């Protein structure tokens, strides 16, 4: 088992790799138990606190650039599993992320995660049907679109898909697909309002102190859309274990990362 207390370029004899041209050495704790795990960090990332445990082999963590205040995350990555954090993702407090058994948990760009949130593709322990012996709680991917706001204590479980521009209410639990530009609340989260757009600046932090309509603050045009009930975000292409790609096809890792908006990291 290896423990790292900084994110900086690193490799070991087990094929574990960190690609991080910028050194992040505050509030970082990485535990690596297996082989061929990989972390790729954009040089412009902003990390408030990061705890990562790679339990097995072939895990991947991708961290995008951040022009906002950054994020704090406690992430578990299991066998063949991937966590992708897009650009400008923020959290108010530490959020928990878990992806094991080949799962992917993906955050788009400009995702605003409030306090005490969790994103769990797996349940942590297997549950079986006593007659067939088959697993009843298979792991499922989680995909959070861009410019999504997770209210305080809101949670996404395996199978959650949230479309761009949507708001998940306080203490809600997302288990299925929520379309774009809507508000979803409750357990399981259901849509209660469509055709909405939210703006990031805190109500009290930008003038004027009362905001009755959009004319008084800057409008983020890109996020003002009507709700479409169809599949809200494109399913991401699978990311192969970076070490495999590198061994067979140099340059392919960067092309795969580029597809998700990550820049080539040197
Ligand atoms: C969801 C929210 C944004 C309100 O959206 P809204 O469209 O104005 O919703 P309304 O207040 O009209 O409520 C619509 C329905 O959803 C219910 N509802 C609202 N928020 C809910 C929640 N978090 N959980 C469960 N039900 C909720 C309301 O009771 C109402 O139900 P009803 O129609 O049976 O009466 C707000 O309730 C919320 O959860 N905000 C998040 C706050 C937060 O966590 N901030 C963190 C700072 S980053």
- Summarised one tens digit per residue, pLDDT across range 233-245 is 655 444 443 344 3
pLDDT in tens, 126-166: 999 999 999 999 999 999 999 999 999 999 999 999 999 99
Asked whether residue 6 carries a pLDDT value surpassing 70, the answer given is yes
- Residue whose pair of structure tokens reads 């306090």 in the numeric block: 115
pLDDT confidence of 51, banded at 50, 70, 90? very high
Tally of domains in the chain: 1
Query: Can you give the residue range of the structural domain that contains 174?
Result: 2-234
Q: Please report which confidence band the pLDDT of residue 230 belongs to, taking 50, 70 and 90 as the band edges.
A: confident
Question: What pLDDT, on the 0 to 100 scale, is given for residue 251?
Answer: 52
Which among 90, 152, 167, 169 is the best mutation to test ligand 1's pocket, defined by most ligand atoms within 8 Å of the CB?
169
Q: What is the pLDDT of residue 258?
A: 52
CA distance 35 to 58: 6
In a domain, 24, yes or no: yes
Instruction: Classify residue 254: in a domain, yes or no.
Output: no
Q: Span 91-114, mean pLDDT?
A: 98
Ligand 1 site-directed mutation target among 170, 182, 188, most atoms within 8 Å of CB: 170
**256 within some domain:** no
Q: From atom 7 of ligand 1, which residue's Cα is the shortest distance away?
A: 193
pLDDT at 65: 97
Instruction: For residue 21, give Cα distances in angstroms to 15, 17, 58, 157.
Output: 18, 12, 21, 33
Q: What is the pLDDT of residue 245?
A: 37
CA dihedral (237, 243, 244, 246) in degrees, to 10, reads: 90
Structure tokens at 132: 């067939």
Residue 246 covered by a domain: no
Q: Identify whether 163 is part of a domain.
A: yes
Average pLDDT over residues 111-137: 98
**Pocket residues: Cβ below 6 A from ligand 1:** 114, 151-152, 167, 169-172, 183, 185-186, 192-193
Output the pLDDT for position 229: 85
What is the pLDDT, as a whole number, of residue 232? 59
Tokens representing 223 are 């996020």
Q: What pLDDT does residue 208 have? A: 97
In this predicted structure, what is the pLDDT of residue 240?
42
Q: How far is the CA of 184 from the centre of ligand 1 (A)?
A: 8
Ligand 1 centroid–CA 121 distance in Å is 25
**Would you list the DSSP string of 178-225?**
E-SSEEEETTTTEEEEES-----S-TTTSS-S--SSGGGS---GGG--
On whether residue 249 sits in a domain, the answer given is: no
pLDDT-based confidence at 264, cuts 50/70/90?
very low
Domain assignment of residue 241, yes or no: no
Q: What is the CATH number of the domain that holds 128?
A: 2.160.10.10
Beta-bridge partner residues of 157:
120
Mean pLDDT across the stretch 107-120? 98
pLDDT for res 234: 58
Residue 264 lies in a domain: no
- 125 or 254: which carries more pLDDT confidence? 125
Nearest to 20 by CA among 2, 33, 39: 39
In the chain, % of residues over pLDDT 90? 86
Using the 8-state DSSP alphabet, how is residue 50 labeled?
E
């Amino acid at each position: 088992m290896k423990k790292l207390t900084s994110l900086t370029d690193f490799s070991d004899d087990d094929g574990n790799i960190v690609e991080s041209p910028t050194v992040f050495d505050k509030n970082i704790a990485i535990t690596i138990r297996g082989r061929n795990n990989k972390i790729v960090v954009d040089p412009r990332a902003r990390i408030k606190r990061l705890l990562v445990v790679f339990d097995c082999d072939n895990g991947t963590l991708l961290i995008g650039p951040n022009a906002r205040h950054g994020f704090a995350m406690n992430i578990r990555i299991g066998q063949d599993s991937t966590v992708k954090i897009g650009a400008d993702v923020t959290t108010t407090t530490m959020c928990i992320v878990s992806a094991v058994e080949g799962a992917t948990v993906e955050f788009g760009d400009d995702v605003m995660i409030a306090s005490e949130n969790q994103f769990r593709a797996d349940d942590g322990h297997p549950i079986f049907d006593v007659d067939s012996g088959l697993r009843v709680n298979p792991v499922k991917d989680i995909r959070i679109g861009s410019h999504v706001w997770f209210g305080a204590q809101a949670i996404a479980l395996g199978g959650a898909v949230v479309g761009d521009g949507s708001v998940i209410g306080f203490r809600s639990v997302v288990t299925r697909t929520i379309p774009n530009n809507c508000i979803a609340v409750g357990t399981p989260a259901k849509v209660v309002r469509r055709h909405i757009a939210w703006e990031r600046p805190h109500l009290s932090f930008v003038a004027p102190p009362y905001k009755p309509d959009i004319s008084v603050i800057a409008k983020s045009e890109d996020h003002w859309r009507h709700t479409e009930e169809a599949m809200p975000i494109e399913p991401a292409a699978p990311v192969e274990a970076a070490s495999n790609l590198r061994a067979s096809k140099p340059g392919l890792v960067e092309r795969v990362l580029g597809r998700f908006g990550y820049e080539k990291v040197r």
